[in-house]
Amino acid sequence: MKDPIIIAIDAMGGDNSPNKVIEGISLHSKLSNNVNYKIFGDQKLINPLISKYNISEKRLDIVHTNKIVEGKDSALAAAKRGKETSLWLAVESLKKDEAHAIVSAGNTGALFLISKLNLNMIKNIDKPALSALWPSKKGMNVVLDLGANIDCNTKNLIDFSIMGSALLKALFDNVKPKVALLNIGSEELKGNATIKDTYQKLNNEKYSLFDFEGYIEGNHIMDGDVNVIVADGFTGNIALKTAEGTSNFIIGELKKALTSSFIGKISSFINSNNLKDFKNKLDPRLYNGAILLGLTKPVIKSHGSTDSLGFANSLKVCEKTIRGRLIDQIKQNII
């Protein structure tokens, strides 16, 4: 891509914004080339941070607005706040082809509704899906849908398989997508009618984009034998929240065990490198950046409570989806 990538950024969404957003831009800009940032938010708050974090103004375009979507707003209330909020203007810049993608750490429901009001769906896709990266023993998994759709039919799950595989290829070009359906068992007869019907169709049809590997149970998600895991939004969201809670529990209990006694502190000191690697493996900031798939432009949701490092990683994911031609890959493979 000769022309610079332009990422639209809602600077006012999420905890500790715009500070974490601008610092995150600073972190990302030092590791990226040919990427510019179109920032939407309160210029009186943003300008001092630009100076503080020493970001080149040549890479920035700041669009001032002091109107914001509140975290407590419902999606409908956020849309009714008007077209001058930082979130609406950021999404609208994609509609006007002024940016290639958007990143926001703000209100999730508002981001999705405003995105769907401004952007078209990719042809032949009925529903968008929320996807994210999960670590595994052998690399990274793409998991979807994580809550955008409670009820899904067979076509939706097949579409999710294609979109999730396209995302994996966009992020990791040398990895062959291996798709599995999240289910209560690995046998063909297990599951509800929709998932069994999806299994049959994916098993009978050969796709050039991915290999279909059948079912996967929740306790094998992180084994790494498959790398695209598909579920309806209800099931996927429960799996996500369970994994997050388990990760936080393990880190918390390990920290308690290693600081509650003299022996534990000695053990922690001796194994400091191993413990650091372990912590990094479970650090959610390093996998921050959920992607709403199915729209004609990439929409990236950064976790609202993440810090500047997490926001920088969401910008990295955003950049990769653009360089990897995510939307084109979906369009080429969707049925």
Q: Using CA atoms, how far apart are residues 180 and 186, in angstroms rounded to an integer? A: 10
Task: Tell me how long the chain is.
Answer: 335
Residue 252: pLDDT band with limits 50, 70, 90: confident
Higher model confidence: residue 167 or residue 148? 167
Per the listing, tokens 């997490």 go with 310
Element (H, E) at 183: none
With a cut of 70, say whether residue 321 has pLDDT above it: yes
Higher model confidence: residue 295 or residue 286? 295
With a cut of 60, say whether residue 145 has pLDDT above it: yes
The answer to whether the CB of 268 falls within 8 A of the CB of 183 is: no
Q: What is the pLDDT of residue 11?
A: 95
- Least confident window among 36-45, 133-142, 171-180: 133-142
pLDDT over 90, % of the chain? 61
Q: Using CA atoms, how far apart are residues 192 and 194, in angstroms rounded to an integer? A: 6
Residue 326, Cα to own-chain centre: how many angstroms?
13
Q: Using CA atoms, how far apart are residues 33 and 298, in angstroms rounded to an integer? A: 19
- Report residue 91: phi and psi, to 5°: -65, -40
Q: What is the pLDDT of residue 245?
A: 78
With a cut of 60, say whether residue 267 has pLDDT above it: no
Write out the E strands in the chain: 5-10, 35-41, 60-64, 101-104, 129-136, 139-144, 178-182, 211-216, 228-230, 290-293, 299-301
Q: What is the pLDDT of residue 89?
A: 96
- Report residue 177: phi and psi, to 5°: -65, 135
Instruction: Count CB-CB contacts under 10 A for residue 241.
Output: 12
Q: What is the pLDDT of residue 2?
A: 73
Q: What is the pLDDT of residues 323-333, one digit of tens each?
A: 999 999 999 88
Higher model confidence: residue 3 or residue 101? 101
- Least confident window among 66-80, 154-168, 235-249: 235-249
Element (H, E) at 239: helix 233-259
pLDDT over 70, % of the chain? 91
Q: What is the pLDDT of residues 94-103, one digit of tens each?
A: 999 999 999 9
Q: What is the pLDDT of residues 188-219, one digit of tens each?
A: 778 889 999 999 999 998 888 999 999 999 88
Residue 135: pLDDT band with limits 50, 70, 90: confident
Per the prediction, the chain carries an average pLDDT of: 88
With a cut of 90, say whether residue 40 has pLDDT above it: yes
Residue 147: pLDDT band with limits 50, 70, 90: confident
Residue 173: pLDDT band with limits 50, 70, 90: confident
pTM for this prediction: 0.86
Q: What is the pLDDT of residue 35?
A: 95
Buried b (16+ CB within 10 A) or exposed e, 184-212: eeeeeeebeebbbbbbeebeeeebebbeb
Q: What is the pLDDT of residue 316?
A: 94
Q: What is the pLDDT of residue 185?
A: 85
Beta-sheet strand order (sheet of 299-301): 60-64, 35-41, 5-10, 101-104, 299-301, 290-293, 129-136, 139-144, 228-230, 178-182, 211-216
With a cut of 90, say whether residue 269 has pLDDT above it: no
**How would you class 87 by CB atoms within 10 Å of its CB: exposed for 0-12, middle for 13-18, buried for 19 or more?**
buried
With a cut of 90, say whether residue 264 has pLDDT above it: no
Query: Can you list the domains of the chain with their CATH numbers?
Result: 1-122+294-327 (3.40.718.10), 126-286 (3.40.718.10)
Q: What is the pLDDT of residue 260?
A: 67
Which tokens go with 71?
């975290």
